[in-house]
Amino acid sequence: MEDLKLVYKKVHIGHNFSLSYRTVGEGKHLVFLHGWGYPWKIEPDFISSLAKQYELIFLDLPGYGQSSWEGIKGTVFEYAQTLAKFLAKLGIANEAILIGHSMGSVVILNYLVDHPKFGNRILFCGLPLGEKMPLWVKLLLFLRLQKLISKFHKLSQMAVDYISRETQKIGGKKPERKTYEGSVEPEILINNALSVLESKNLKTYKSVAAKPVLIYGEKERFKKFCDRRKLPCYIIKEAGHSPMTEKPRETAELILKILKKD
């Protein structure tokens, strides 16, 4: 690992709007999109083997890390457009292999809707499936109250804490208040979560031409949904919703195995 050093970079995709990302390694580009609450947690055991064969790019979505978020609500639909601009700016739109965790998978899924001819490998780790939208979420979206809630610190913190508890029920970890650079605004976190529920993930997954590879932790709730629907997926034993941090070496080895099938 001595020679594998993450390099912190920024790229501008609009007037006064920039995206931060970390990169390491050389070769084909693996672009990683993180889940809700914090940027991708980079474990040494996860990148050690991958970075010897690929360039790893860990993008901070708007509102995370040092990425801008002015003018952005923080929905997965907006993030899909941001991903398109990021790939185009780096000149890797036709070459990148996309790997998403949880919310990051939903972002990529919506990116595929707008880019149906995307033909590269796609891997989803912990894609939320089978979640019904609660009545309170429908009400929030219908009345557009999330912005109002986010303006009141106590209300917004209650909303974030509630979403956090629900996230932990599927095997996820409690999101950290601070990212590795700065904090995530409650408005971003609320809109992140609501838009994941609003996105029709199963229907979209079945409709996209490029069939993403599904990876789940053995202990997480979404794995049971895949079993019921008989969806093909890979399982990381003794892992929950975040196998890349719970079982980093095993997850990296599985990713290499999947990519070598090409």
- Give residue 190's pLDDT: 77
Question: Is 126 within a domain?
Answer: yes
Q: How does pLDDT run across 111-128, given as a tens digit for each residue? A: 999 999 998 999 999 998
Task: State how many domains the chain has.
Answer: 1
Average pLDDT score over residue span 53-82: 94
Question: Is 103 within a domain?
Answer: yes
Question: Is 21 within a domain?
Answer: yes
CATH number of residue 240's parent domain? 3.40.50.1820
Output the CA angle 258-260-261, nearest 5 degrees: 70
Question: Is 177 within a domain?
Answer: no
Task: Give the residue carrying structure tokens 């590879």.
Answer: 213
Report the alpha-carbon distance of residue 20 to residue 67 in Å, rounded. 5
Beta strands in the chain, from DSSP E residues, in sequence order: 7-14, 17-24, 28-33, 54-59, 97-101, 122-125, 213-217, 234-236
User: Which of 33-37, 98-102, 217-221 is predicted most confidently?
Assistant: 98-102
| HEC string for 114-130 | HCCCCCCCEEEECCCCC
Q: Which of 189, 223, 230 is nearest to 206 (CA)?
A: 230
On the question of pLDDT at 182 being above 80, the answer is: no
- Give residue 114's pLDDT: 93
DSSP secondary structure letters along 43-82? -HHHHHHHTTTEEEEEE--TTSTT---TT----HHHHHHH
Q: What are the backbone angles phi and psi of residue 222, rounded to the nearest 5°? A: -65, -25
On the question of pLDDT at 241 being above 80, the answer is: yes
On the question of pLDDT at 142 being above 50, the answer is: no
- Give residue 169's pLDDT: 55
Question: Is 116 within a domain?
Answer: yes
- Give residue 228's pLDDT: 82
Average pLDDT score over residue span 71-80: 92
- Give residue 72's pLDDT: 87
Question: Is 245 within a domain?
Answer: yes
Q: How does pLDDT run across 185-240, given as a tens digit for each residue? A: 777 887 888 788 778 888 888 888 888 999 999 988 888 888 888 889 999 999 99
Report the alpha-carbon distance of residue 149 to residue 90 in Å, rounded. 36
In contact, 185 and 63? CB cutoff 8 Å = yes
Question: Is 185 within a domain?
Answer: no
- Give residue 178's pLDDT: 43
Report the alpha-carbon distance of residue 183 to residue 39 in Å, rounded. 11
- Domain of 12 in residue numbering reads as 7-131+199-259
Provide the percentage of residues in the chain whose pLDDT is more than 70: 78
Q: What is the model's pTM?
A: 0.85
User: Of 35-44, 76-85, 230-239, which range is least confident?
Assistant: 35-44
User: Of 23-27, 54-58, 132-136, which range is least confident?
Assistant: 132-136
CA 53 and chain centroid, separation: 22
Question: Is 142 within a domain?
Answer: no
Q: What value does the mean pLDDT of the chain take?
A: 83
